[in-house]
Amino acid sequence: MARRSPLRPAGFDELGLRRALADRMLPFLVAAMAFLAALALAGWVGAATLAQHWQRGAGASLTVQVPHPDDPALGAPGTRVDRVLGMLDATPGIAGARTLTAAELQALLRPWLGPGPDPLLRRLPAVVAVRLADPPPGAAALATLGTRLDQAAPGTMVETQGVWIDRLLALARSLQACAGAALLVVAAVAAAVVAVATRAGLSARREAIEIVHGLGATDGFIAARFAGRATVLAAAGGVAGAVAALPVLLALASLAAPFAAGGSGPSAEISAAGLGRSLPGALPVALWLLLPGLPLAAAAIGFTTAQVTVRRWLRRLP
């Protein structure tokens, strides 16, 4: 008797739920759901990060070709290329512009023209590499820029990767949507699993529930006993699933590394190379923040589902 505390004993199991709500099957099934949710989360974060990388990388630059760059500009002092560079520098939304040197052009064309100086180079247009500001100007602003440059130095062409970037962004957003849908499905299945387990527990402990109900237990009291048990089991499953998913996510991050290779800034987040780097840097920060949310989400699903299931079931009692 000395074991009894001044308050209701912690974890006192009035309804005998430790035997009724299986302590292996439910956590195992929830762990499987959490594992799938972790993969979906990784897909969502990965797609978002890639989209950001593409937008900030290829989407943040454009090239301008200026034919006959050394000819005098129309109605202004200097050459045509000087005129174009001056207009680019004065344009809002452009962070910088520089003309590629002859050596850089030669290096670019070496696969087609071979090594060594080539007389063709002298007749090639000048290539101006332009870095756009963050956020970059819109498609309409870039179209206007092209028109203005063409008027100042006829024949000048502006090349953007806008179409490809838009397509890649649409792809990334579609992947994010799929990952989000997968998360919703996984959450729904987890809720269904908890509901089925709770109903099995209700059937197994029906007599005990009726006795406790008859002694004056409220619906809230009985539902809280089930919800407490379901919360603990679901949280345990959530932890197990998230931990089990970690090595898989690290392996996927290392596979994804080449897609971001050579990038800088945000690309470092997914350049991952997980297995060869320190653990915190092996996955995107967002994923590290979201993964601990899986056991919490599992616990919330367990608690809510058990509460709703038990309270609905109890309505059959007077």
DSSP 5: -
Nearest to 246 by CA among 8, 20, 104, 34: 34
Q: Which stretch binds another protein (CB under 8 A): 48-56, 129-137, 191-199, 218-226?
A: 218-226
Q: Which stretch binds another protein (CB under 8 A): 40-48, 86-94, 163-171, 203-211?
A: 203-211
Please name the residues in contact with 307: beta carbons below 8 A apart, sequence gap of 6 or more: 223, 224, 226, 227
Please name the residues in contact with 57: beta carbons below 8 A apart, sequence gap of 6 or more: 263, 267
13 makes contact with another protein (CB under 8 A):
yes
Tokens 């009985």: give the residue: 222
Q: Residue 100 or residue 208: which is nearer to another protein going by CB?
A: 208
1 makes contact with another protein (CB under 8 A):
yes
12 makes contact with another protein (CB under 8 A):
yes
140 makes contact with another protein (CB under 8 A):
no
Q: Which stretch binds another protein (CB under 8 A): 13-21, 160-168, 267-275, 280-288?
A: 13-21
Restricting to residues 286-315, name those near another protein by CB under 8 A. 315
Q: How far apart are CA 66 and CA 127, in angstroms?
A: 6
Q: How does 73-108 read in b/e, with b if 16+ C-beta sit within 10 Å?
A: beeeeebbbbbbbebbeebeebeebebeeeeebbee
Q: In what order do the strands lie in the sheet with 157-160?
A: 94-99, 126-132, 61-66, 157-160
Q: Residue 141 or residue 212: which is nearer to another protein going by CB?
A: 212
Q: Which of 6, 92, 115, 280 lies at the binding interface for another protein (CB under 8 A)?
A: 6
164 makes contact with another protein (CB under 8 A):
no
Nearest distance from residue 211's CB to another protein, in Å?
5
The site map against another protein for 56-95 (x = CB under 8 A) is ----------------------------------------
Rg of the Cα atoms in the chain: 32
> Binding-site residue total for another protein (CB under 8 A)?
26
Restricting to residues 221-240, name those near another protein by CB under 8 A. 221
Q: How far apart are CA 276 and CA 281, in angstroms?
A: 10
Q: Which of 76, 196, 208, 243 lies at the binding interface for another protein (CB under 8 A)?
A: 208
Kindly tell me the burial class for residue 311, based on how many C-beta atoms sit within 10 Å of its own C-beta (0-12, 13-18, 19 or more): middle
Q: Which of 111, 119, 216, 262 lies at the binding interface for another protein (CB under 8 A)?
A: 216
For residues 201 and 20, is the Cβ–Cβ distance under 8 A? yes
19 makes contact with another protein (CB under 8 A):
yes
Kindly tell me the burial class for residue 282, based on how many C-beta atoms sit within 10 Å of its own C-beta (0-12, 13-18, 19 or more): buried
Chain residues that interact with another protein, rule: CB under 8 A: 1, 4-9, 12-14, 16, 19, 207-208, 211-219, 221, 315, 318
